[in-house]
Amino acid sequence: MSGPPPVETGHERIPRWIVGLGAAIVLVGVVSLSFNLEGTNPDLVGPPPSGPPPSAGTTDATALIERAGCQACHGPDLSGQGTFPSLHGLAAGPTSANLQQLAADYPDTWPNLWIDGAGPEVEGLDRGGMPVFGGPDGTFTNDEIATMVEYLLTLE
């Protein structure tokens, strides 16, 4: 008497793309966790808008800041979160080391140059994820950037 036929087992290897995808997912989780060690989930885009989105020509500073999405990185009240610095107290100078020389070279306009991001003055600086908002194809005009900076300099 013989037993049932042997069960064939698959000795196929896991495709490399699946292994790579799994590793990428784990890496994203680790990076996300390292930026959020206190266990809270910050708002990524700030509070929902209460009306229609501001137009591109608006000069209201808070509407401009909302349109720029500053709260996504700098926190709902712009006091900083994760690796993104607080935007409070900028009247006394930059709070992050990568802007110290820019502020020394351009004491009156460094925030405008930083937010614009397209000029040669900021070329080569570590922007740490800060988007370019100015320049010929920028999201904001020089006047709109100046309006935002004027407001930011009032935050204590």
- Tens-of-pLDDT digits for all 156 residues of the chain? 677 777 666 666 778 888 888 999 988 887 777 766 665 655 555 554 444 444 444 459 999 999 999 999 999 999 999 899 999 999 999 988 889 999 999 999 999 999 999 999 999 999 999 999 998 888 999 999 999 999 999 999
C-alpha dihedral sign at 69, 71, 76, 82: positive
Q: Is residue 98 part of a domain?
A: yes
Q: Is residue 31 part of a domain?
A: no
Residues 130, 73: Cα–Cα separation, whole Å: 9
E-strand ranges in the chain read: none
Residues 24, 18: Cα–Cα separation, whole Å: 10
Q: Is residue 44 part of a domain?
A: no
The pTM of the whole model exceeds 0.85:
no
Q: Is residue 5 part of a domain?
A: no
**Helix, strand, coil share (%) of the chain residues, nearest 5:** 40, 0, 55
Q: Is residue 20 part of a domain?
A: no
Q: How many residues are given for the chain?
A: 156
Residues 128, 137: Cα–Cα separation, whole Å: 21
Q: Is residue 95 part of a domain?
A: yes
Q: Is residue 19 part of a domain?
A: no
C-alpha dihedral sign at 29, 35, 36, 42: negative
Domain that holds residue 146: 61-152
Domain count, the chain: 1
